[in-house]
């Protein structure tokens, strides 16, 4: 396959995902959809269609072929390392009130939507299965680490008792994505077949997930505020979209990963900052404007950085 063929086939994987994000930007700007639609659609995706997509992709998965504890462990370790490195850099170069937001923006990717969409585009059902298994690690590590760093720089008021860890644990334990992975596990482990009518209905319902979610991401982006705190935004965005995926993927190659496992891990490492980062930063009294800026910039950068990353890995014959 020629260089041009590899590049064009890479665009066929990445461009449809990011085209849907830009369609969301256009629909919101043209007022074909409004914030009420975005709020309702986002809830539907998070609470119903995305869990359904994970459930049916995992329930029908061949765990002997897709379950790799070493991959899950490596991803968790790489996430911890990127979190620690971002925090170390923030201690040296970022003003104290912005450090929590900076660190979260630099390590927390939108794996549940963008990462899964790219994995599905590249590897189909196998990508969804691998991504679904990784999501269990993602949800746990991202939420816990984000709470830790945001709490460390949370503005304190008199009588403030600090972080409610019980609430955080309940939030993670009742997360619909985690529950769907847990619910699907017995079907995959014991190879219990689901009725055809149920899987067909589930596929119809789950197919709403990626288009709706990507449109909502585009509709919530705002580039107007990017002029505020531009240097900090750019630094966190470069860390998230260039440094973390490059270093983590290189280490994964050194560790012996190739093929779909390496490809899906790269896509998760290279996903733009998660929209959930804004909700958590705002709820914990951190700078939500900077968070929104990082989300916007990383999402816009992703169409270039992810495409180039996939192209380089395919050119090297690693995925």
What is the spatial distance between Cα 53 and Cα 213, in angstroms, rounded to a whole number? 12
- Encoded tokens for 78: 């790489």
| Closest C-alpha to 267, from 75, 115, 73, 125 | 115
Kindly state the average pLDDT of the residues 213-218: 87
Residue that the structure tokens 């369609």 belong to: 23
What is the spatial distance between Cα 294 and Cα 278, in angstroms, rounded to a whole number? 9
Per-residue DSSP letter, 37: H
| Closest C-alpha to 245, from 260, 221, 262, 266 | 266
* Statement: residue 159 has pLDDT above 70: no
What is the spatial distance between Cα 103 and Cα 303, in angstroms, rounded to a whole number? 22
Q: Which pLDDT belongs to residue 227?
A: 60
Share of the chain above pLDDT 70, in %: 93
- Encoded tokens for 138: 């993602």
* Cβ–Cβ < 8 Å for 142, 168: no
**227 phi, psi to nearest 5 deg:** -70, -20
Q: How confident is the model at residue 191 (pLDDT cuts 50, 70, 90)?
A: confident
* Statement: residue 101 has pLDDT above 60: yes
**109 phi, psi to nearest 5 deg:** -95, 160
Residue 232 domain boundaries? 3-315
The CATH number given to whatever domain includes residue 24 is 1.20.1530.20
What is the spatial distance between Cα 198 and Cα 216, in angstroms, rounded to a whole number? 27
**10, 259, 284 from 313: Cα distances, Å:** 10, 10, 38
Q: Which pLDDT belongs to residue 57?
A: 83
In angstroms, what is the C-alpha Rg of the chain?
19
| Closest C-alpha to 232, from 140, 77, 100 | 100
* Cβ–Cβ < 8 Å for 105, 296: no
Which range has the worst mean pLDDT, 61-65, 149-153, 255-259?
61-65
Kindly state the average pLDDT of the residues 288-317: 91
- Encoded tokens for 102: 């900076």
**34, 247, 319 from 253: Cα distances, Å:** 44, 10, 10
Q: What number of CA atoms fall less than 13 Å from residue 7's CA on the CB side?
A: 5
Q: How many domains does the chain have?
A: 1
DSSP-assigned letters across all residues of 182-243: HHHHHHHHTTPPPPHHHHHHHHHHHTTHHHHHHHHHHHH---GGGGTTHHHHHHHHHIIIII
Mean pLDDT across the chain? 88
Q: How confident is the model at residue 232 (pLDDT cuts 50, 70, 90)?
A: very high
* pLDDT tens-digit readout, 234-248: 999 999 999 999 999
**50, 64, 218, 232, 299 from 44: Cα distances, Å:** 8, 32, 16, 33, 22
For the whole model, what pTM was predicted?
A: 0.85
- Encoded tokens for 155: 């503005």
* Statement: residue 314 has pLDDT above 80: yes
* pLDDT tens-digit readout, 47-56: 899 889 889 8
User: How many other C-beta atoms lie within 10 A of the C-beta of residue 151?
Assistant: 17
């Amino acid at each position: 396959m020629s260089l041009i063929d590899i590049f064009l086939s890479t665009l066929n994987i990445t461009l449809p995902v990011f085209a849907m994000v830009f369609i969301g930007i256009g629909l919101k700007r043209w007022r074909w959809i409004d914030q009420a639609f975005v709020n309702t659609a986002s809830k539907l995706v998070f609470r119903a269609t995305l869990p359904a997509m994970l459930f049916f992709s995992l329930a029908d998965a061949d765990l002997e072929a897709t379950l790799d504890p070493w991959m899950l462990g490596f991803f968790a370790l790489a996430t911890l390392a990127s979190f620690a490195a971002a925090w170390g850099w923030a201690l040296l170069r970022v003003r104290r009130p912005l450090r929590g937001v900076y660190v979260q923006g630099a390590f927390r990717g939108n794996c549940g939507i963008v990462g899964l969409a790219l994995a599905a585009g590249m590897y189909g059902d196998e990508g969804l299965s691998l991504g679904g298994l990784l999501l269990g690690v993602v949800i746990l590590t991202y939420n816990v680490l984000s709470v830790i760093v945001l709490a460390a720089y949370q503005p304190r008021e008199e009588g403030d008792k600090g972080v409610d860890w019980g609430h955080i644990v309940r939030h993670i334990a009742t997360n619909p994505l985690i529950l769907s992975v847990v619910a699907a596990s017995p079907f995959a482990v014991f190879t219990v077949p689901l009725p055809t009518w149920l899987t067909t209905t589930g596929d119809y319902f789950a197919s709403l997930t990626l288009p709706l979610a990507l449109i909502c991401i585009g509709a919530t982006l705002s580039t107007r505020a990017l002029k505020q705190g531009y240097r900090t935004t750019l630094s966190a965005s470069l860390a998230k979209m260039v440094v973390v995926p490059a270093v983590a993927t290189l280490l994964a190659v050194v560790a012996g990963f190739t093929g779909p496992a390496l490809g899906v891990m790269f896509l998760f490492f290279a996903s733009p900052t998660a929209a959930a980062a804004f909700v958590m930063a705002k709820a914990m009294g951190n700078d939500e404007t900077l968070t929104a800026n990082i989300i916007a910039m990383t999402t816009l950068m992703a169409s270039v950085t992810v495409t180039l990353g996939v192209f380089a890995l395919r050119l090297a014959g690693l995925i």
